[in-house]
Amino acid sequence: MMEILEKVKQVQQAVESFPIDNKEHLEAFRRQFIGQKGAIKGLMGEMKNIAPENRKTFGQEVNKLKQLAEERFKTLQDSLIETKQAEGPAVDLSLPVIPQQQGTVHPLTIVKNQIVQILERMGFNQSDGPEIEDDFHNFTGLNFPENHPAREMQDTFFIEKHPDIVLRTHTSSVQIRQMEAFPPPLRTFSIGRVFRNEAISARAHCIFHQIEGFFIDTNVSFVDLKQTLFHFAKELFGDDTKIRFRPSYFPFTEPSAEMDISCRICKGKGCNICKYTGWVEIGGAGMIDVNVFKNCNIDPEAYTGFAFGMGLERITMLKYQVKDLRLYTENDLRFLRQFRGMM
C-alpha cells in the first residue's frame, strides 16, 4: 500500500512541476496525465490489486490527483488563450507592405516591340509563318537550288525521318508564304524564332530571332530599300545614325547587300565594339530575285521588290551593349533587372 501511495505522490509532483509554456506542452501534459493512456488512468487500473480495506483511501488519493491535474490543465489552457489574445492578432496590420516584386519585360521583347512600332508606322503589316518548315519555303522557293552550296551557309536542323522538313533557318520563309497567299502590292514584316545547328557561345546560338521585311509593288527600287532602312535605323538607334551597304550574296536577292550602321558607342571613331572600323553589321538586304517571283507566280515584269533580314539578338546587343548572347536565355535577374521599367 505504501508503495502505491508513493507512486501517487510522484505523479502528483510531476503534475505540479510539469513546465507548460505553449500549446504543445499543454497537449503533452494532457497525454501524459489525463488522457486515456495517461498516468492517472494507469493508477486507477491498480485498484484491483489493492487490499479491499485500503481501496477507499487509495481511491480518494487518486481522485484528488485527478482533480489537481484537471485543474492545472484548465488554468494553463485559459492562461495560454489569454496570452494569445494579449499578443493581438497574428498579423500586424500596422506593418508597411512588402513591395511587390515586379517582373521586367525581356530585353528582346522590348526591342521587338520598338521594331514592330517603327515598321508599322512605315506602313508594313505584321505577318507570321511556321517555325517547322518544308524545304520549299525555307530553301527552294527562295532560289536555293538543290544541292547548291548556298544551302550550307546555314547549318540546318532536319527532321530525321522527313528530310523535306526543317526547323526554319531564317524568317525569309515567310516571304514565300506571303507571296503565295496574297497578290502584290505587299508590304509586310515578320519577327520570329529561327534555328541553326550551331554550338552555343557568346556570339552564336542555335535558337535566335530574325526580323524579315519586304515590299513588292510596281517600280520599287533600291532607293526605296535604302531610304526605308535608313529611316528604320534612325528611329531605332537614334537620329545621328548613318547606314552603309556592302555588296554581298544571297540566293533570293539580286543585287544583295549587307547593311552596317555607324557604331553607336564611338560614333564612328572606332572602338572595340566595332573592331575599330566605325561600323557594325545589322543584317542583309537586296532586291527580290526574279526567280523568287517566278516560284510564287508573281510577274517579274510587272513587279519589283526589296527585302531585308536582321537578327533581333544582334540589334539588342548593339542597342544595350549586351556582350554575351547567352545572357538572353539564362534568366539571371541581375541582367533582367537592368531593363526594369522599359516596355
Binding residues for ligand DAH (CB under 6 A): 170, 172, 212, 250, 253, 284-286, 307-309
Query: Edge-to-edge strand order for the sheet containing 158-159?
Result: 132-134, 162-167, 158-159
Residue 195 or 308 having the CB closest to ligand DAH: 308
Min dist. Cβ of residue 312 to ligand DAH (A): 12
Select 184 or 284, whichever has its Cβ closest to ligand DAH.
Answer: 284
CB of 273 to ligand DAH, least distance (A): 21
**Residue 289 Cβ vs ligand DAH, minimum distance, rounded to whole Å:** 9
Neighbours of 242 (CB within 10 A): 16
Least separation in angstroms between residue 220's CB and ligand DAH is 13
Q: Which is nearer to ligand DAH, 15 or 307 (CB)?
A: 307
Nearer to ligand DAH, 66 or 170 (CB): 170
**Smaller CB separation from ligand DAH, 20 or 220:** 220
Nearer to ligand DAH, 172 or 295 (CB): 172
C-beta of 287: minimal distance to ligand DAH in Å? Answer: 8
Q: Smallest distance from the beta carbon of 266 to ligand DAH, in angstroms?
A: 26
At closest approach, how far in Å is the CB of 91 from ligand DAH?
A: 57
Give dist(CA 13, CA 37) in Å, integer. Answer: 19
Q: How many Å apart are CA 326 and CA 75, to the nearest integer?
A: 65
Provide the minimum distance between the beta carbon of 217 and ligand DAH in the complex, in angstroms, as a whole number. Answer: 16
Distance from C-alpha of 138 to C-alpha of 132, rounded to nearest angstrom: 10
Is the Cβ of residue 73 or residue 245 nearer to ligand DAH in the bound state?
Answer: 245
- When CB distances to ligand DAH are compared, the closest residue is 309
Least distance to ligand DAH from the beta carbon of 282, Å? 11
Pair 40, 61: CB distance under 8 Å:
no
Phi, psi of 309 (to 5 degrees): -140, 135
HEC assignment per residue over the chain: CHHHHHHHHHHHHHHHHCCCCCHHHHHHHHHHHHCCCCHHHHHHHHHHHCCHHHHHHHHHHHHHHHHHHHHHHHHHHHHHHHHHHHCCCCCCCCCCCCCCCCCCCCHHHHHHHHHHHHHHHCCCEECCCCCEEEHHHHCHHHCCCCCCHHHHHCCCCEECCEEEEEECCCCHHHHHHHHHHCCCCEEEEEEEEEECCCCCCCCCCCEEEEEEEEEEECCCCHHHHHHHHHHHHHHHHCCCCCEEEEEEEECCEEEEEEEEEECCCCCCCCCCCCCCCCEEEEEEEEEECHHHHHHCCCCCCCCEEEEEEEEHHHHHHHHHCCCCCCHHHHCCHHHHHHHCCCC
Taking the least distance from each CB to ligand DAH, the nearer of 15 and 317 is 317
Q: Which is nearer to ligand DAH, 70 or 254 (CB)?
A: 254
